[in-house]
Amino acid sequence: MAAAGAEAAAAAEEEEKRLPEGDPESGGDSEDEGDSDSSGDGEDEEKENEAEIQRLEEQLSINAFDYNCHLDLIKLLRQEGELVKLRRARQKMSELFPLTEEIWLDWLKDEIKMASESSEREKVYELFERAVKDYICPEIWLEYAQYSIGGIGQEGGIEKVRSIFERALTAVGLHVTKGTALWEAYREFENAILETAQPAPGSVPSPEQQQMLCSQLEKIHTLFRRQLGIPLLDMEASYAEYEEWSEHPIPETIIKNYKKALQQLEKCKPYEEALLGAETPKLAEYQAYIDFEMKAGDPARIQLIYERALAENCLVPDLWARYNQYLDRQLKVKELVLSAHDRAVRNCPWTVGLWIRYLLAMERHRVDHGVISEMFEKALNAGFIQATDYVEIWQAYLDYLRRRVDFTQDSSKELEELRAAFARAVEYLKQEVEERFSESGDPSCTIMQNWARVEARLCNNMQKARELWDNIMTKGNAKYANMWLEYYNLERAHGDTQHCRKALHRAVQCTSDYPEHVCEVLLTLERIEGTLEDWDAAVQKTENRLARVNEQRAKAAEKEAALAKQEEEKAEQRKQARAEKKASKKAKKTRIGDKRKAEDDDDEWGQEEEEEQPSKRHKGDGDGILEEDMEVETGLFGRSGPEKPDRPASQKEKASTSRKDIPKVFHDSSKDHVTVFVSNLSYSMAEPEVKLKELFESCGEVVEIRPVFSNKGTFRGYCYVEFKEEKSALQALGLDRKVVEGRPMFVSPCVDKNKNPDFKVFRYSTTLEKHKLFISGLPFSCTKEELEDVCKAHGNVKDIRLVTNRAGKPKGLAYVEYENEAQASQAVLKMDGLTVKEHVIKVAISNPPLRKPPERPEAGRASQFAVPRQLYGARGKGRTQLSMMPRALQRQSNPVAKAENGMVQNSPATSSKPSEEPTKMSNADFAKMLLKK
Low-confidence winner among 157-166, 362-371, 586-595 (lowest mean pLDDT): 586-595
Low-confidence winner among 64-78, 83-97, 623-637, 853-867 (lowest mean pLDDT): 623-637
CA distances from 913 to 580, 891, 905, 919 (A): 17, 19, 14, 17
Decide: 468 and 455 in contact? Cβ < 8 Å.
yes
The partner residues of 709 in beta bridges, in order of sequence, read 715
In the predicted structure, residue 184 carries a pLDDT above the cut 70: yes
**pLDDT at 609 (0 to 100):** 38
* pLDDT above 90 as % of the chain: 43
In the predicted structure, residue 904 carries a pLDDT above the cut 50: no
In the predicted structure, residue 617 carries a pLDDT above the cut 80: no
Count the neighbouring beta carbons within 10 Å of the beta carbon of residue 735: 18
pLDDT band at 678 (very low <50, low <70, confident <90, very high): very high
Q: Give pLDDT tens digits for 104-135.
A: 999 999 999 888 777 788 889 999 999 998 88
In the predicted structure, residue 773 carries a pLDDT above the cut 50: yes
What number is the average pLDDT over the span 910-914? 39
In the predicted structure, residue 490 carries a pLDDT above the cut 90: yes
Residue type, 783: T
Q: Give pLDDT tens digits for 847-880.
A: 777 655 544 444 433 333 333 433 333 333 343 4
More confident residue, 751 or 298: 298
In the predicted structure, residue 607 carries a pLDDT above the cut 70: no
In the predicted structure, residue 338 carries a pLDDT above the cut 70: yes
What number is the average pLDDT over the span 782-786? 87
**pLDDT at 763 (0 to 100):** 58
pLDDT band at 929 (very low <50, low <70, confident <90, very high): low
**pLDDT at 9 (0 to 100):** 45
Residues 6+ apart with CB under 8 A from 723: 674, 675, 676, 696, 699, 700, 701, 702, 703, 729, 732
In the predicted structure, residue 12 carries a pLDDT above the cut 50: no
pLDDT band at 439 (very low <50, low <70, confident <90, very high): confident
Residue type, 562: A
Quick one: residue 622, left, alpha or beta (phi over 0 = left, psi -120 to 50 = alpha)? left
Count the neighbouring beta carbons within 10 Å of the beta carbon of residue 908: 10
Interatomic CA distance for residues 355 and 340, integer angstroms: 12
Report the relative pairing of strands 904-905 and 897-898 from DSSP bridges.
antiparallel
What would the DSSP string read from start to end of 317-334? HHHHHHHHHHIIIII--H
**pLDDT at 141 (0 to 100):** 94
What number is the average pLDDT over the span 708-735? 87
pLDDT band at 2 (very low <50, low <70, confident <90, very high): very low
Report pTM.
Answer: 0.60
**pLDDT at 3 (0 to 100):** 42
Give the helix, strand, coil percentages of the chain, each rounded to 5: 60, 10, 30
Q: Give pLDDT tens digits for 547-588.
A: 999 999 999 999 999 999 999 999 999 999 988 888 888 887
pLDDT band at 19 (very low <50, low <70, confident <90, very high): very low
> Is the torsion defined by CA of 668, 669, 674, 678 positive or negative?
positive
Question: How many helices (H) and strands (E) in the chain?
Answer: 37, 13
Select from 166, 195, 196, 197 the least CA-distant residue to 183. Answer: 166
Residues 6+ apart with CB under 8 A from 813: 774, 775, 776, 778, 802, 803
Interatomic CA distance for residues 564 and 556, integer angstroms: 12
pLDDT band at 926 (very low <50, low <70, confident <90, very high): low
Residues 6+ apart with CB under 8 A from 348: 315, 316, 317, 320, 354, 822, 825, 826
**pLDDT at 917 (0 to 100):** 45
Burial label, 810 (beta-carbon count in 10 A; 0-12, 13-18, 19+): middle
Residue type, 45: E
Residues 6+ apart with CB under 8 A from 923: 636, 637, 638
**pLDDT at 663 (0 to 100):** 54
**pLDDT at 336 (0 to 100):** 92
More confident residue, 182 or 742: 182
Low-confidence winner among 307-321, 375-389, 883-897 (lowest mean pLDDT): 883-897
**pLDDT at 89 (0 to 100):** 93
Decide: 77 and 86 in contact? Cβ < 8 Å.
yes
**pLDDT at 100 (0 to 100):** 86
What residue spans of 454-531 are helical by DSSP H?
462-472, 481-494, 497-510, 515-529
In the predicted structure, residue 356 carries a pLDDT above the cut 90: yes
Phi, psi of 804, rounded to the nearest 5 degrees: -130, 165
Q: Write down the mean pLDDT value for the chain.
A: 80
Q: Give pLDDT tens digits for 506-532.
A: 999 999 999 999 999 999 999 999 999
pLDDT band at 24 (very low <50, low <70, confident <90, very high): very low
